[in-house]
Amino acid sequence: MNVNLKRAAGVVAAAAGLTLALGGSAFASSGAHASSSQFQICSHGSYASYAVFPSTPLPGGAVSISFATLVVAPGHCSPAYTLHPGNTTAKIYGVDSNGKDFLIDTDSFDYTSPDHIVTTGSQNNPDWNATN
């Protein structure tokens, strides 16, 4: 199994475990929670990609947990769900042909649109954009 896929699976499993420990559901659907938001990450470039969302402060002094999307193969999209409200920081990564991660960009991402993260280009000239 690819190291990146293991990492993403570990992050998802840890987030699901924490959610269940707090009494929530590990998997949300678009109608499961009033504040949940669905978006997609798509790899339209010639490399796999994923996004990481670091912890962010929430109203009332709470802090959200960080999470990562699944690693998406070139030419594919994957849905993702979040309970983060509004704008947050997203770190967008590519995975080169040797399985090594590379940072494409760190930018603001708005769940309320909902935006979709689309990676483009090649591993030598990676880029991304947000579409809704």
Domain ranges of the chain: 3-131
Q: HSE, CB side, 13 Å, CA atoms: give it for residue 66.
A: 11
Considering Cα of 84, then 28, then 22, then 12, what sign does the dihedral take? Answer: negative
Give the CATH fold of the 3-131 domain: Immunoglobulin-like (2.60.40)
Please give the distance of CA 105 from its chain centroid, rounded to a whole number: 13
The pLDDT, as a whole number, for residue 33 is: 35
User: What's the pLDDT at 114?
Assistant: 60
CA distances from 100 to 52, 79, 85 (A): 15, 23, 31
List the single range of 10-14, 44-48, 51-55, 73-77 with lowest mean pLDDT: 10-14
130 — pLDDT class (breaks 50, 70, 90): confident
With cut-offs at 50, 70 and 90, classify the pLDDT of residue 11. very low
Query: Mind giving me the DSSP string for 100-115?
Result: -EEEEEEEEEETTTT-
